[in-house]
Amino acid sequence: MTIEFTNFSFRYDSQVNPTLKNINLTIQQGEKVLIVGPSGSGKSTLGQCLNGLIPHVIKGEAKGSLSINGKNTASMTMHNVTAMVGTVLQDTDSQFVGLSIGEDIAFALENRMMSLRCTRWLSRQQNG
Ligand SMILES: Nc1ncnc2c1ncn2[C@@H]1O[C@H](COP(=O)(O)OP(=O)(O)OP(=O)(O)O)[C@@H](O)[C@H]1O
Ligand SMILES: [Mg+2]
């Protein structure tokens, strides 16, 4: 999976100035990237761009492009972005359905009617 921000800016409707300004960032498959910055600098906003909440649910003015696997997220549906990107929030206990990441991944796959054999295998890999 490749993530590519190109001259990407985003301003919340309720804000005068853009929160994200001219972001150029490419993340290749397998890379682990840590986004660091002071409170209010836009880390969560960047995450919401990646999982599609921006622009599909949270409204504002976006410029430039964000593409995931070569597809511009703005021209995809929220549903399709969700199929590619997952978000783990700070308080995982209030978010997870199962007792482990493996169970949660399996839960999502089961809901997509993937075979039980495949989801059990995935769960074993995750639980190590
Ligand atoms: N839904 C929203 N509507 C309007 N402005 C918002 C919204 N969410 C965030 N902001 C504004 O965007 C800026 C960046 O916020 P964001 O939450 O992305 O920062 P952050 O780096 O994640 O901060 P923290 O380290 O505190 O989690 C802040 O000025 C914030 O007030
Ligand atoms: Mg945050």
40, 12: one domain: yes
Q: How many domains does the chain have?
A: 2
Rg (CA), the chain: 16
Q: Is the CB of 41 under 6 A from ligand 1?
A: yes
Its pTM surpasses 0.75: yes
69, 104: one domain: no
Distance of CA 20 to the CA centre of its chain: 16
- Say how many C-beta atoms besides its own lie within 10 A of residue 27's C-beta: 15
The whole domain housing 38 covers 3-84
The protein residue whose alpha carbon is closest to atom 25 in ligand 1 is: 39
Per-residue pLDDT of the chain (128 residues; tens, 9 = 90+): 899 999 999 999 999 999 999 999 999 999 999 999 999 999 999 999 999 999 999 999 999 999 999 999 999 999 999 888 988 888 878 887 888 878 887 888 888 887 777 767 777 776 65
Ligand 1 atom, smallest distance to 37 CA: 21
- Name the residue of 21, 45, 57 to mutate for ligand 1: max ligand atoms within 8 A of Cβ: 45
pLDDT value at residue 112: 80
99, 119: one domain: yes
